[in-house]
Amino acid sequence: MTAGAQIAVAIVKVFLGTAFYIVLILVARLFPTAAGMMLTFPALNGLALAAAPTKENVEGAVRTMLLMPALNCLLCAIYVLAFLWLRPAGALVGLIFALGFLWAVITGSFVYKSVGISGRANQTYYILVCSVVFLTLLLALYCYQPPRGSAVFAHAPWWEFLGQNAGRIVLFAVCLSAVVAISDGLSRRFSSSLISRLLGALGGFPLVPLFGLYTVAAANGNALSHRVEIFGSLAVSVWIGPMIAFGFVMSFAAALIRLDLYGRHSSWARRFALAVPFWAACFAAIALAVLLLD
């Protein structure tokens, strides 16, 4: 394949992935009280796994990727709880940059030191421990009954809704471009192990969720009391997201490896299509969680 053709394929991947993300946020508006769960929705995780050049890269990426939902959840929770405690007039921009820097330092150390969860037994144990901790925190905050409100304007026309989320869409496209650049370009220049760790880390890139928190926290004409209600809802539902992401990463990666979609006649598009039912299962889990919490 010529260099021009490779660039064209990369552009198509970014376009299709971003188009999927647009559909995702349009579907997500059907669950207005599930905004906290959507902060760690495994959209980029799935695209990173689908973009992995080999099934060995999928196995390696999972070891690092499993660390990302828990880390991102904790960072988002820090911001949410800080907002509820401080009740600022603005969006705590400095805290967002600090959390982004902290993510970069922690994730960079994971990639550099080859930190990850290896072995199916260890991965299962890790997921169980994280799930117990997150469920405990969820129940504690739910029993405390913080003010709860919706962060999604479900009744706005779809074109206005997309306009309100244009920043998220652009940032998602930027993150996906980084994933595609690593899987399609850098995979020929660096070791397979490093590529796997980078894909695992970037699959959990928190730029989009942190920007989402910023847009909710910014005044934009909304009274402080309304924003506090929204963050009260986020404080409860944010703990469910990582458990859904864990299930997606483990099941989708297992399907990719078992079906071995990396032969001569396989393509990234087929792996992307395979992710769709797993994303649908995530939405089903979110819908069930909304029913239980409401």
Average pLDDT rounded to a whole number, residues 280-290? 90
Per-residue pLDDT tens for 15-68?
888 888 888 878 777 766 677 788 888 999 999 999 888 888 999 999 999 999
Q: Contact at 8 Å (CB) between 182 and 49?
A: no
pLDDT at residue 28 in the model = 73
pTM of the model: 0.88
Per-residue pLDDT tens for 238-256?
999 999 999 999 999 999 9
Between CA 228 and CA 53 the distance in angstroms is 44
What percent of the chain is helix, strand and coil (3-state, nearest 5)?
Answer: 80, 0, 20
pLDDT at 6 over 80: no
pLDDT at 128 over 60: yes
Render 135-150 in DSSP notation, one character per residue.
Answer: HHHHHHHHHH------
pLDDT at 119 over 60: yes
Closest CA to 78 of 53, 57, 61, 103: 103
Average pLDDT rounded to a whole number, residues 164-179? 85
Average pLDDT rounded to a whole number, residues 75-87? 93
Question: Rounded to the nearest 5°, which phi and psi values hold at 53?
Answer: -65, -30
Residue 180's pLDDT band (cuts 50, 70, 90): confident
* Angstrom distances, CA of residue 65 to CA of 58, 70, 72, 79, 294: 10, 10, 11, 22, 30
Q: Contact at 8 Å (CB) between 167 and 211?
A: yes
